[in-house]
Structure 1
């Protein structure tokens, strides 16, 4: 009953098979191989345009390098106050951009409030030199609360950002889960509709949480930007010599929409968990749209669940409206499902939560 993080799961068997099959022989290093070129071409096909691609081994590296391509050292990057780049990456984006400042903006359910964004960005329009120059906006898709931006919600933020001359980054560590959900609303939605067509300049496309061993891709919708990043990637220690092994994983993920199948399973397990906890009488804090469930549970029950083998984390309450904050005897917890989550694990947890 491990719902601590989708990072705790291993790799999809198909990924391991692809790595074993592609491991033999020799190939040029540092991304000069045919498999890396094929992965790049497949990503261009997926997004329906020529894109620049560079791969990374970690999501933090992908986010930080993408922001370095969009934001100067003296600039400001706006993001939700609970965004991974602010709350979980130890200042890495500020380090790799060589000084850009991360500025958090509030909003319920993990989504940036457009009015708050306009207000905060507007404050930086005063006399030069007082505040960092507004340079980039970063959206998290799916959000840290497991909610998903619809295309019109993205446009409501990218439109004002572009009017102010900002570039827009998307942290897509759980982009597959977000797209799987959006396709439930309309199967016609394509990756392009919630990225470059909606005003996104760079996407950190996460494959690791979805079920890769270790593979992230930064997709730059201005292909020429990719060339600017190479020296930053090398100077920051994130250039991978055996890049074909990351490319193999990306190719295997994109083959027959394996990435979406894995995400759909994780999302379905979250929906099952949501149903079970609601049936047990517990409040669910945010709409369950991707593979995360946020529940308000009594502290005594939290302890019993842990003693029974449950794994999960208590979570900050900032994205909850104040009137919905748990009382002194309860807490907000996050439960994350993955491609490896089994229905019997979910059902067992829900039964214990009802006891």
Structure 2
């Protein structure tokens, strides 16, 4: 029972079928094929706006190239201090930004508040000795499993416009956030001021397919060249695009996300009913963060449940992890089986019952 992440499973059947179909015969290389053209047009339909789309193979490439378009080498990109772009990508954004820096701010649940970002920006020196802020990046879903609401994104968008910042969204779990909020892709992004999006699909059913969706035209001007220099212009581009064709067909991507979110809530509800277990953050998408007794942590691991420990630095005010407790992360994927969720809950319940009886 592996709940380590949502990138540990393979691709979904519709994605694989589209990939096999695209594999037949010869087609133009480097994204000049008809499948890629259809997929790029589909992105514009989905976002209700003419957008520029660049297909890449990894989320790190999407984030690094998107931010390299938004931030010059002398600039600053503001993000949460635990954001994936600053904490999990080995400096790739700074590398592709050519020397620009990421500035990490605190915030409960790995969320940035508009007031806090505004206060930080107002407090920066305007001296030439200070790198000027040029972009804001947020994770949707956050590293603590929370979803930015439309009003929160809109407020951050207003801060960006006030200070002349480009607004980037790391949408590694974009579909999970979308179905959680029940809104449209347009409402979740450019209608709230987002200028450029890293659109994740690998965690939700694709093999290795991510996209950079550019709303603001000037951010797309050099993106093709940046991608080529980064080794992200794929010669057999149709095989990357085909994944998106299967992903989008018949709302498959949304169905996958709904499945993952539903089972995550089922898992969270089941664990929360066990004495001694509480949630570090609410379960708003497909990640569950329980604070458990260390003895339960060991019992779960001994039973073969795989997951990761998690830092508690962004827990809500007044919440903490005790000396004999552990904060853990369990991630539900589109391929997770409901019976495995019930098994984990039952293992946890039985373990705590045995401990109480001793």
TM-score range, shorter chain: over 0.9
Gaps of 5+ in 2: 351-358
Deviations 1:231-277 (A, max 9, x none): 11111222211111111111111111111000000001101101110
Match of 1:254 among 248, 267, 271: 248
- Aligned counterparts of 2:22 and 2:218: Cα–Cα separation in 1: 29
Which residue is equivalent to 2:158?
A: 159
2:341 is the alignment partner of 1:351: no
Instruction: Quote the offset at 1:228 in angstroms.
Output: 1.1
CA contact (8 A) 2:108 2:317 kept: no
Which residue is equivalent to 1:139?
A: 138
Match of 2:194 among 182, 200, 209: 200
Instruction: Quote the offset at 1:319 in angstroms.
Output: 1.2
Match of 1:319 among 306, 314, 328: 314
Deviations 1:280-299 (A, max 9, x none): 13101111110000000111
Which residue is equivalent to 1:92?
A: 92
Deviations 1:34-85 (A, max 9, x none): 1111100000000111000001000000001011111111111111111100
CA contact (8 A) 1:54 1:226 kept: no
CA contact (8 A) 2:80 2:107 kept: yes
Match of 1:220 among 200, 206, 214: 214
- Aligned counterparts of 2:157 and 2:23: Cα–Cα separation in 1: 42
Pair 321,150 (structure 1): closer, same or farther in 2 beyond 3 Å:
closer
Which residue is equivalent to 1:302?
A: 297
2:47 is the alignment partner of 1:53: no
2:223 is the alignment partner of 1:229: yes
CA contact (8 A) 1:295 1:333 kept: yes
3-state SS in 1 of match to 2:141: coil
Instruction: Quote the offset at 1:217 in angstroms.
Output: 0.7
Deviations 1:164-200 (A, max 9, x none): 00000000000000001111xxxxx211011001000
CA contact (8 A) 2:80 2:105 kept: yes
Which residue is equivalent to 1:170?
A: 169
- Aligned counterparts of 2:126 and 2:51: Cα–Cα separation in 1: 37
- Aligned counterparts of 2:122 and 2:73: Cα–Cα separation in 1: 20
3-state SS in 2 of match to 1:237: coil
After the TM superposition, which residues 2-41 of structure 1 pair with which residues of structure 2 at under 5 Å, given as runs? 2-41=2-41
- Aligned counterparts of 2:213 and 2:162: Cα–Cα separation in 1: 23
CA contact (8 A) 1:5 1:336 kept: yes
- Aligned counterparts of 1:224 and 1:165: Cα–Cα separation in 2: 14
Which residue is equivalent to 1:186?
A: none
Q: CA RMSD in A?
A: 1.1
- Aligned counterparts of 1:226 and 1:255: Cα–Cα separation in 2: 26
- Aligned counterparts of 2:126 and 2:180: Cα–Cα separation in 1: 44
Greater than 3 Å deviation, 4+ residue runs: none
Aligned residues: 349
After the TM superposition, which residues 68-87 of structure 1 pair with which residues of structure 2 at under 5 Å, given as runs? 68-87=68-87
CA contact (8 A) 1:50 1:223 kept: no
CA contact (8 A) 1:106 1:113 kept: no
- Aligned counterparts of 1:84 and 1:93: Cα–Cα separation in 2: 10
3-state SS in 1 of match to 2:7: helix
CA contact (8 A) 1:142 1:172 kept: yes
Deviations 1:124-160 (A, max 9, x none): 2x24222211000001111111111111010111101
